[in-house]
Amino acid sequence: KKTWGNNYIKNINKLKTAVNDTYNEYLEYNGKVADALFFSTSNGYTEDSNLVFNFEASYLKSVSSPWDKEVTPTYEKQITISLTDFYKKLSLPYQDNLNIEILKRSSTNRILKLKINNKEFTGREIYKKLSIRSTDFTIQKDKDNVIITTKGYGHGVGMSQYGALGMAKLGYTYNEILTYYYQNTKVKKL
């Protein structure tokens, strides 16, 4: 009620209708219930499950998600933290020089491995330790501060919520949206 304000009744009724209209439906892959992972906002692509969660799921493969940038307020975010806090959060000794070397990116531009002042990290470690929005990021030193720019929001696996919103605004059905983000799945009734 607080967030939706005057739109509360309209939004809650829309939500109730969606729940009732899809009652007893599930997403199936090869005769089993699919693990329908989702996240807020893609950087233009979703990510393969094995690169984020170390498990392989054929229906959780990277797909293009070009709709996010147009409909989300969280597509790109920039934060500034002090160089001291940056080193502290990464358990690195303070140095005036900041040397960043990207060792490996996924095909979706997310960082898999990098070195910061000769210490190796995964993109997920940086994502967690610095509480940033995505593993698609850049890091720049600006005097006594570090500027981190991220694209997307969340782990990137499965369905992008803002990508789905963009598809819905173009007239795609929920069934089309689900089977797009979760490749080779089917919406079934219990």
- Per-residue pLDDT of 161-185, as tens digits, reads 999 999 999 999 999 999 999 999 9
73 pLDDT band, cuts 50/70/90, is confident
Residues in Cβ contact with 87 at an 8 Å cutoff, skipping those fewer than 6 apart: 93, 94, 95
Burial environment of residue 165 by CB neighbours within 10 A (0 to 12, 13 to 18, 19 or more): middle
Q: What angle do CA 133, 139, 142 make, to 5 degrees?
A: 125
Average pLDDT, the chain: 96
- Judged against a pLDDT cut of 90, whether residue 142 lies above it is answered with yes
The reported pLDDT for the residue numbered 74 is 80
Residues in Cβ contact with 159 at an 8 Å cutoff, skipping those fewer than 6 apart: 36, 37, 38, 39, 46, 177, 178, 181, 182
The reported pLDDT for the residue numbered 81 is 97
Percent of the chain with pLDDT over 90: 98
What is the C-alpha separation between 12 and 140, in angstroms, rounded? 43
What is the C-alpha separation between 22 and 45, in angstroms, rounded? 27
- Judged against a pLDDT cut of 90, whether residue 54 lies above it is answered with no
In b/e form, how buried is each residue of 77-98, taking b as 16+ CB within 10 angstroms? beeebebeebbeeeeeeeeeeb
Model pTM score: 0.90
- Backbone φ and ψ for 180, nearest 5 degrees, come out as -75, -50
How confident is the model over 86-125, as pLDDT tens digits?
Answer: 999 999 999 999 999 999 999 999 999 999 999 999 999 9
Mean pLDDT to the nearest integer, 137-148: 96
